[in-house]
């Protein structure tokens, strides 16, 4: 087990500290991995010789261009090879939540773009140290209840199968963005707050496996593991490329408080330090990237979108993480069922293919081109909607 903290470093703001000043901030929280949404040369140079691992991003607007092998190789040369080995770039993620945009031009370009970037790495002799992947929304799942029944949307299976084959052949991880915050925000009377914040709680039991879950994120991760296994990819590693909790929100954004953000992110960091996996994969590494490093004042959308940061732009903490102690954190107890939890009762399957924002708002999360469906359309975020009947 080698769990280590990752952090998302978004820069949709006009008041952030210089990359050189960000280096000690990243180290202050014990983060050893950073995920960018581009390949900002100033950031990559600032982190040279620090040992911090980087995932760099190619936005959705680059997908069509990256289908051209020559253009992909030019991009890799300029944005990756030029920084190696001083800056430890280990992964490139091509596109963000592409398959849930319902945009065939984007989805049709995804795998060819990934293949071109990988081919460029091979040609440059970098494929053994840099992998290629893409990040998905949890709404690629058709079902997430119980975790043992996790399955991908039927309309995405063919496309996903080709991408999964690419992951298996190249040894790259499967990235998922997961936000239990949306589950609580959408159903605060039915979703138990302690369950989503990793606080001590009774938990629930998956009736098919008898595994005990005392936090929502682990249930979501295991639903993804099961969805992968159902397509024959049981051994594919899953990384949580984004998860977090806002410290401030609009009046209708229930739960968006500094205290809840402190509990969610602080408890999550404690769990990662324990070097334990999920109930279904107790011996697998937890590769999790917290969203986000800074509050970003230029992000559109509700107030919460500008308040996911662990830090304010001046480098001071947005709130205390309180990570000096690892006691009283959910996720550190036994993972088998028993008197500590209740079997999960059936819940209706939510709509699998959102067609508009009428069933929930579109919150623009880490980058301007990336959307997280909230409300009734976020599939696994509804895992407890009608489940916790205490």
- Distance CA(296)–CA(41), nearest Å, equals 20
Q: Which domain holds residue 17?
A: 5-182+217-311
Those residues with Cβ within 8 angstroms of residue 196's Cβ, 6 or more apart along the chain or in another chain: 180, 181, 183, 184, 215, 216, 217, 264, 384
Cβ neighbours around 314 below 10 Å, total: 9
Give the side-chain half-sphere CA count within 13 A for 364: 14
Q: Which two tokens stand for residue 316?
A: 């001071």
- Distance CA(97)–CA(99), nearest Å, equals 6
Asked whether 197 and 329 are in contact (CB, 8 A), the reply is no
Q: Would you say residue 365 lies in a domain? A: no
Asked whether 367 and 170 are in contact (CB, 8 A), the reply is no
H-helix or E-strand containing 113?
A: helix 104-123
To 5 degrees, how large is the angle CA 343–CA 348–CA 354? 135
Cα→Cα distances 296→12, 26, 263, 327, 364, Å: 5, 16, 21, 32, 12
The residues that are catalytic are: 97, 242
Those residues with Cβ within 8 angstroms of residue 230's Cβ, 6 or more apart along the chain or in another chain: 150, 151, 152
Q: Which pLDDT score is estimated for 332?
A: 55
- The helix/strand count (H/E) of the chain reads as 10, 15
Q: Would you say residue 79 lies in a domain? A: yes
Q: Please tell me the pTM assigned to this model.
A: 0.85
Q: Would you say residue 297 lies in a domain? A: yes
Per-residue pLDDT tens, the chain, 390 aa: give them: 456 899 999 999 999 999 999 999 999 999 999 999 999 999 999 999 999 999 999 999 999 999 999 999 999 999 999 999 999 999 999 999 999 998 999 999 999 999 999 999 999 999 999 999 999 999 999 998 899 999 999 999 999 999 999 999 999 999 999 999 998 999 999 999 999 999 999 999 999 999 999 999 999 999 999 999 999 999 999 999 999 999 999 999 999 999 999 999 999 999 988 878 999 999 998 899 999 999 999 999 999 999 999 999 999 999 998 765 344 567 654 333 333 343 443 333 333 322 222 222 222 233 333 333 333 233 333 334 334 333
Give the tens place of pLDDT for each residue, 145-158: 899 999 999 999 99
Cβ neighbours around 124 below 10 Å, total: 15
DSSP letter for 81, please: G
Q: Which pLDDT score is estimated for 348?
A: 31
Q: Would you say residue 247 lies in a domain? A: yes
Count the domains in the chain: 1
Q: Would you say residue 348 lies in a domain? A: no
Give the tens place of pLDDT for each residue, 155-208: 999 999 999 999 999 999 999 999 999 989 999 999 999 999 999 999 999 999
DSSP letter for 17, please: P
Cβ neighbours around 85 below 10 Å, total: 10
Q: Which two tokens stand for residue 45?
A: 């140079």
Q: Can you tell me which residue has the tokens 């280096």?
A: 23
- Distance CA(351)–CA(376), nearest Å, equals 8
Phi first, then psi, for residue 101 (nearest 5°) are: -85, -10
Indicate the Cα dihedral angle 284, 290, 291, 293, nearest 10°: -150
CATH number at residue 17: 3.20.20.80
Q: Which pLDDT score is estimated for 273?
A: 87
Q: Would you say residue 208 lies in a domain? A: no
Q: Would you say residue 377 lies in a domain? A: no
Q: Which two tokens stand for residue 99?
A: 């398959």
Q: Would you say residue 332 lies in a domain? A: no
Largest CA distance in the chain: 60
């Amino acid at each position: 087990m080698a769990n280590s903290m990752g952090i998302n470093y978004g820069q949709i703001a006009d008041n952030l500290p210089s990359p050189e000043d960000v280096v000690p901030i990243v180290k202050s929280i014990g983060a050893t991995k950073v995920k960018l949404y581009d390949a900002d040369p100033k950031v990559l140079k600032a982190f040279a010789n620090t040992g911090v691992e980087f995932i760099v991003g190619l936005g959705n607007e680059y997908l069509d261009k990256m289908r051209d092998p020559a253009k992909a190789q030019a991009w890799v040369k300029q944005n990756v090879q030029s920084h190696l080995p001083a800056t430890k770039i280990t992964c490139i993620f091509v596109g963000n939540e592409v398959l849930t945009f319902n945009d065939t031009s984007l989805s049709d370009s995804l795998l060819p773009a990934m293949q071109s970037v990988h081919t460029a790495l091979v040609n440059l002799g970098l494929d053994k140290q840099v992998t290629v992947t893409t990040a998905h929304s949890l709404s690629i799942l058709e079902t997430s209840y119980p975790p043992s029944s996790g399955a991908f949307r039927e309309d995405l299976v063919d496309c996903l199968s080709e991408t999964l084959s690419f992951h298996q052949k190249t040894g790259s991880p499967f990235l998922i963005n997961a936000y239990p915050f949306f589950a609580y925000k959408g159903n605060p009377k039915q979703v138990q707050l302690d369950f989503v914040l990793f606080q001590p709680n009774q938990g629930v039991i998956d009736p098919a496996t008898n595994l005990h879950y005392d936090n929502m994120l682990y249930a979501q991760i295991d639903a993804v593991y099961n969805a992968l296994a159902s397509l024959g990819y049981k051994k594919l590693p899953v990384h949580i490329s984004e998860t977090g909790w806002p410290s401030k929100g609009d009046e209708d954004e229930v739960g968006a408080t500094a205290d809840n953000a402190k509990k969610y992110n602080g408890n999550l960091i404690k769990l990662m330090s324990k070097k334990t996996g999920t109930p279904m994969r107790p011996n697998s590494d937890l590769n999790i990237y917290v969203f986000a490093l800074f509050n970003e004042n230029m992000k559109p959308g509700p107030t919460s979108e500008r308040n996911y940061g662990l830090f304010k732009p001046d480098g001071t903490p947005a709130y205390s993480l309180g990570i000096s102690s690892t006691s009283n954190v959910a996720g550190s107890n036994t993972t088998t069922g028993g008197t500590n939890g209740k079997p999960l009762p059936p819940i209706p399957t939510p709509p699998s293919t959102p067609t508009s924002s009428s069933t929930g708002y579109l919150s623009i999360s880490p980058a301007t081109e990336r959307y997280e469906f909230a409300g009734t359309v976020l599939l696994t975020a509804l895992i407890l909607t009608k489940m916790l009947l205490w």
